[in-house]
Amino acid sequence: MKKNSAARIATIGIMSALATGLMFLEFPIFPSVNFLKFDPSDILPLLAGFIFGPIDGILVLLIKDILFYLLKSGDIVGISMNFVAGASFLLPVIYIYRVRENRVFEIIGYVVGILVVSGVMTVLNMIVVPFYAPNIPLREIVKYLPYIAGFNAIKFSIVAVVTGLIRKRIERIFE
């Protein structure tokens, strides 16, 4: 399957469409900060990364974010932040797993990916929010940083657990 480019392109398209649909299943993790919403859509780009490689995982991530932007969001900043979050999780996971393709390196990849995405999104929010919402004082932004870090840690922990449970079964389909 990995060598057949037509089937690979079709699979990437299907995974992107499914991931876009999963973005509509969103709910807040912290009710007091309801703009931070969990959706399970990052599972499919991660699976594509495991099956085909990191570039294809990023491609699924990009397509799902563009489709969601066109279909619902209309918020270029939010969807860009979603893309950065997904990429900053996916890339460490896949590259660490490729060092030695075994369960230990997969789990190490998940842990590193969760730490990276939590850190990147915390810093990125400190940079982007003052430009995106200039009327929010910096002390208010800083007050939300623990929620942002916690949200990303929880969200991508769920993505890691679900992916870890289904990855082998899904990979067998593509062998």
Task: Name 62's Cβ contacts closer than 8 Å, sequence gap at least 6.
Answer: 83
Q: Report helix, strand or coil for 174.
A: coil
Q: Specify the CATH number for the domain of residue 80.
A: 1.10.1760.20
Number of domains in the chain: 1
pTM: 0.91
Place of tokens 């002390």: 139
Q: What is the pLDDT of residues 63-77, one digit of tens each?
A: 999 999 999 877 898
Task: Return the minimum-mean-pLDDT range out of 1-15, 62-76, 118-132.
Answer: 1-15
pLDDT in tens, 12-65: 999 999 999 999 998 888 888 888 889 999 999 999 999 999 999 999 999 999
- Mean pLDDT along residues 100-111: 95
Residue among 30, 68, 29, 22 nearest 46 (CA): 22
CB 13 within 8 A of CB 20: no
Q: For residue 118, what are the domain limits?
A: 5-173
Q: Whose structure tokens read 């900053």?
A: 88
Structural tokens at position 100: 């030695």
Mean pLDDT, the chain, as a whole number? 91
Write out 90-152 in H/E/C secondary structure: HHHHHHHHHHCCCHHHHHHHHHHHHHHHHHHHHHHHHHHHHHHCCCCCHHHHHHHHHHHHHHH
* Contact between residue 157 and residue 115 where contact means Cβ atoms under 8 Å apart: no
